[in-house]
């Protein structure tokens, strides 16, 4: 399943690519250039994007990447989903190496995660939601782990709403849970945001939130067991960060996006655009794509494709997309500054 990756043994004094468009790509001796192309959906114009694949130690089924406090964190499932009890962990990638954190803490199936205030971190740790602490000095502790009401189908992504509150998607049940840290910091509470299964069926996966407008965006995925999924939705949250009774979902597309295996979702360009990842058919080699949409018009702007496989829960920092290649145990970075 996994491929051997050719290691680019460049001297550290060399600058990758030596061009202005490559300026956001970190230099590392554990990386290789890969072929990634952006296509403008309006006119079909194509351009090559600077991209690297990293061959790193301490990666085991990487699922989600988060940049926080200038550091890049990765959730590692540690094996096949739902078969990785106490094998999961969080690691830190510094551009040249990847180090396991919290060695004394064994997670079960960590996917999405979000940093909150005071070093709190919410983790989608199927079949439970876990609240951890990871300090700036990388000291770790479990605050509390809780199951969701009636059991989880397939807990997946996590998005921060504010300092103390986040949302967690349940791909298997088509639900989203709101989790809030207790005021005394001893644990957290879970509330079902809304029974979105009525409107969106199952498959809710990637989440994104605009804290200014209180607009929630999410994608649905064939991972939930419904082959017709693969859509973008938006819905307005109220002042209590809930979905008011009668609020309708806005579905963006009329046809399935890509292969329907939609996963990561991130607001970019000052929340004017959304970028999402698609696995491709069955996560086949080089079948993953990224799609960029305009938030106002809901138009598809750009399709990014090439040597990307099983793209999971992406993040974007300084125009650099970080992509965990779930099935290859690799990390890919793609510079999208020229297509912004």
Which element (helix H / strand E) includes 199? Answer: helix 197-200
Instruction: Judge whether 171 lies within some domain.
Output: yes
Q: Which residue has better confidence, 266 or 22?
A: 266
Which element (helix H / strand E) includes 47? Answer: strand 46-49
Note the pLDDT of residue 111. Answer: 95
pLDDT category of residue 14 using cuts at 50, 70 and 90: very low
pLDDT category of residue 246 using cuts at 50, 70 and 90: confident
Instruction: Judge whether 91 lies within some domain.
Output: yes
Residue 26 has pLDDT above 60, yes or no: no
SS3 content of the chain, % helix, strand, coil (to 5): 5, 45, 50
Tell me which of 1-10, 15-24, 302-311 is least confident: 1-10
- Bridge partners of 323, per DSSP, are 332
Instruction: Judge whether 11 lies within some domain.
Output: no
Instruction: Judge whether 328 lies within some domain.
Output: yes
Q: Which residue has better confidence, 58 or 23?
A: 58
Mean pLDDT of the region 21-30: 53
Instruction: Judge whether 232 lies within some domain.
Output: yes
Cα angle, residue 75 at apex, residues 120 and 38 outer, rounded to 5°: 115
Mean pLDDT of the region 78-86: 78
Instruction: Judge whether 12 lies within some domain.
Output: no
Instruction: Judge whether 13 lies within some domain.
Output: no
Beta strand pairing call for 250-251 and 46-49: unpaired
Q: Strand locations in 237-297, DSSP E? A: 250-251, 262-268, 273-278, 289-294
Beta strand pairing call for 232-236 and 215-220: antiparallel
> Which residue range(s) make up the domain with 227?
20-339
Tell me which of 14-18, 138-142, 146-150 is least confident: 14-18
pTM above 0.85, yes or no: yes
| Domain CATH for 203 | 2.120.10.30
Q: Is 252 left (phi over 0), alpha (psi -120 to 50) or beta?
A: alpha
Q: Which residue has better confidence, 6 or 273?
A: 273
Number of domains in the chain: 1
Instruction: Judge whether 149 lies within some domain.
Output: yes
Mean pLDDT of all residues belonging to the chain: 88
How far is Cα 326 from Cα 328, in angstroms, rounded to an integer?
6
Residue 29 has pLDDT above 70, yes or no: no
């Amino acid at each position: 399943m996994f491929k051997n990756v050719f290691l680019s043994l460049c001297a550290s004094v060399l600058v990758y690519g030596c061009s202005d468009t490559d300026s956001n790509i970190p230099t590392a001796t554990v990386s290789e250039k890969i072929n990634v192309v952006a296509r403008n959906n309006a006119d079909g114009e194509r351009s090559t994007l600077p991209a690297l694949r990293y061959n790193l130690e301490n990666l085991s089924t990487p699922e989600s990447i988060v940049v926080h406090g200038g550091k890049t964190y990765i959730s590692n499932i540690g094996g096949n989903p739902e078969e990785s009890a106490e094998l999961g962990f969080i690691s830190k990638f510094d551009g040249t190496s990847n180090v396991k954190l919290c060695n004394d803490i064994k997670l079960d199936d960590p996917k999405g995660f979000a940093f909150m205030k005071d070093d709190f971190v919410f983790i989608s740790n199927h079949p439970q939601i876990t609240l951890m602490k990871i300090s700036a000095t990388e000291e770790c502790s479990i605050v509390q782990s809780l199951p969701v009401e009636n059991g989880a189908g397939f807990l997946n992504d996590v998005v921060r709403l504010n300092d103390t509150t986040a949302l967690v998607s349940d791909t298997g049940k088509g639900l989203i849970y709101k989790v809030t840290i207790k005021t005394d910091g001893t644990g957290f509470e879970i509330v079902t945001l809304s029974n979105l299964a009525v409107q969106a069926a199952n498959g809710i996966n990637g989440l994104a939130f605009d804290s200014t407008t209180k607009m929630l965006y999410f994608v649905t995925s064939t991972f939930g067991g419904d082959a017709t999924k693969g859509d973008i939705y938006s819905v307005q949250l109220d002042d209590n960060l809930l979905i008011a009774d009668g609020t309708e979902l806005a579905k963006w597309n009329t046809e399935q996006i890509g292969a329907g295996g939609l996963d990561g979702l991130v607001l970019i360009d000052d929340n004017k655009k959304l970028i999402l990842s698609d696995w491709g058919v069955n996560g086949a080699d080089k079948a993953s794509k990224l799609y960029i949409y305009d938030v106002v018009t809901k138009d598809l702007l750009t399709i990014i494709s090439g040597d990307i496989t099983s793209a999971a829960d992406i993040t974007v920092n300084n125009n650099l997309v970080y992509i965990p290649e779930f099935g290859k145990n690799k990390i890919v970075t793609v510079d999208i500054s020229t297509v912004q």
